[in-house]
Amino acid sequence: MCAWTATAEAHPNIAFIKYWGNRDHEARIPSNGSLSMNLAGLVTRTTVTFRPDLTADRLVLHGREVEGPALARVSKVLSLVRAWSGLTWHADVRSENNFPTGAGIASSASAFAALAVAAAAAAGLDLAPQDLSRLARWGSGSASRSVPGGFVEWLPGTGDEDSYAISIAPPEHWALMDCVALVSTDHKAVGSSQGHRLAEKSPFQAVRVADAPRRLDVCRDAILKRDFEALAEVVELDCHMMHAVMQTSSPRLLYWEPATVTVMQAVRRWRQEGLPVAYTIDAGPNVHVLCPQGAQEEVASRLRALPGVQDVLTAGPGGPARVVA
């Protein structure tokens, strides 16, 4: 290897069973297991270069140098790679997304998955998949789920060693489509890392966490059987359970905008009329509308016609994070 450099790509993911709240905020050991699908076509591409001449890590996002908390999160992952590899150099990190950042499309998931995979490769580490997932988790909890491919479950574990994500089915298993109705591309007022700390302040979080293994069983089963109806029910319930926790924490978090409700009410009406659709919403106002392949053009066209919907991105199941150069 002539240079300590590598480039990796990773997809964001949409959680069907949500991650909200930590048992350990530092190591991001989650309060409950979660389950998601990677989103093909939406990509973060990250290049990590370890260099002997750097006195500190550098982060360049979309060509602009970034410091402060974002750089500190990146450095935490890089420091783990240095500890595991014995390498002592600092790194230059350059990253780009092909989709809007910070509006509920989990850009931190693809960002830290790509970072973990690129940094490990650049440092010459040959890590097992679950160790790459653990590494990504230190930067962003949901990033642990963007490391494996297809349909992914994050086993919550009890500590750093056993808290990682695994693939429960490859992308080819089920051509499920996610039509993301963008109702805002503004940066959200309260980021997820801060929000996770508020979860325990809701009177509903304990119940949500205690019931999570049941919802995970129902969701995993629905995916393995390709049962859209069963998936729709549990995904919408889980979405509302997370937003109920958010809306009753202290301070209360209301991530929805008017058009978020427009889309939810429309999806509900369409399903009653027989169209196979279901919605879920991350920590932001955009609505992810799921449907089986074949329905996505009709769904995207209907979504675009709703007031307040600015654009619709459509994605099928995506593969794992991987080194591309």
**How many residues at the interface with a copy of itself, by CB under 8 A?**
29
22: contact with a copy of itself by CB under 8 A: no
256: contact with a copy of itself by CB under 8 A: yes
Cβ–Cβ under 8 Å, residues 46 and 120: no
Query: How far does CA 108 lie from the centroid of its chain?
Result: 7
The DSSP secondary-structure symbol of 261 reads H
Angle of the 129-139 helix axis to the 107-122 helix axis, nearest 10: 120
Burial 196-222 (b: 16+ CB within 10 A, else e): bebbeebebbeebbeebeebbebbbeb
145: contact with a copy of itself by CB under 8 A: no
Which of 94, 208, 220, 302 touches a copy of itself by CB under 8 A?
A: 208
- Listed residue (231, 247, 215, 246) closest to 288, CA to CA: 231
Report the residue number, 258 or 294, with the smaller CB distance to a copy of itself. Answer: 258
Report the residue number, 286 or 296, with the smaller CB distance to a copy of itself. Answer: 286
301: contact with a copy of itself by CB under 8 A: no
Which of 308, 319, 322, 324 touches a copy of itself by CB under 8 A?
A: 308
Backbone φ and ψ for 120, nearest 5 degrees, come out as -60, -45
244: contact with a copy of itself by CB under 8 A: yes
Report the residue number, 225 or 252, with the smaller CB distance to a copy of itself. Answer: 252
Which of 76, 173, 226, 268 touches a copy of itself by CB under 8 A?
A: 268
Beginning with the edge strand found earlier in the chain, give each strand of the sheet holding 278-280 in spatial order.
278-280, 287-292, 176-182, 311-315
258: contact with a copy of itself by CB under 8 A: yes
Whole-angstrom distance, CA of residue 219 vs CA of residue 212: 10
Which of 22, 49, 142, 262 touches a copy of itself by CB under 8 A?
A: 262
Residues that bind a copy of itself (CB under 8 A): 203-204, 206-208, 211, 236-237, 240-241, 243-244, 247-248, 250, 252, 254, 256-262, 264-265, 268, 307-308
